[in-house]
Amino acid sequence: MWRSPWFIGFTLACGTALAGPYDQAWSIVESGDRSDTRQEFPVAITQVDGQSTRNPRGGDALAPGKHTVRVRFETARVQQSEDEKSRELDLTLAPCTRYRIAARRTKPTGTEWEPKVYEEKIGECARKFK
């Protein structure tokens, strides 16, 4: 009988340790799609909060709140400096929202670009945490 409280405590501790990112409302940051009409191109998401990402297309669940996202876009047209290739974005992520980031050229020729962020609700998350 003396093992019962220990076993219950161990089980509760393991249960909370196994809680994943989808057990609470989440956000996703990922690369946008190419659009010839809007002159937008996919970016590589290289870091989130100073940590390298597993996949440059993004897609990992993140806790809502403030995050710093580093994106990279290289054009094959001309040589770019390091400052022209990367941008850091300070984003405040809302719960149950997907953020798609694309590189939009600011001039038809050359290496100048700006990040464009699009938001959309994650239906599954919104239904689960209504």
pLDDT digits (tens, 9 = 90+) for 76-122: 666 666 767 889 999 999 999 999 999 998 877 767 889 999 999 99
Question: Residue 9: what pLDDT?
Answer: 53
How far, in Å, are 7, 17, 40, 60, 63 from residue 23 at the CA level?
A: 24, 12, 34, 14, 11
Q: Span 8-15, mean pLDDT? A: 52
- Asked if residue 125 has pLDDT above 50, the reply is yes
Question: Residue 106: what pLDDT?
Answer: 83
- Asked if residue 60 has pLDDT above 50, the reply is yes
Instruction: For 13-112, list the strands marked E by DSSP.
Output: 27-31, 40-42, 44-48, 51-52, 58-62, 65-72, 86-93, 97-105
pLDDT digits (tens, 9 = 90+) for 19-50: 577 789 999 999 999 998 888 999 999 999 99
Q: Find tokens 């076993």 and name the residue.
A: 7
Element containing residue 6 per DSSP (H, E): helix 3-17
Q: How many CB atoms lie within 10 A of CB 102?
A: 23
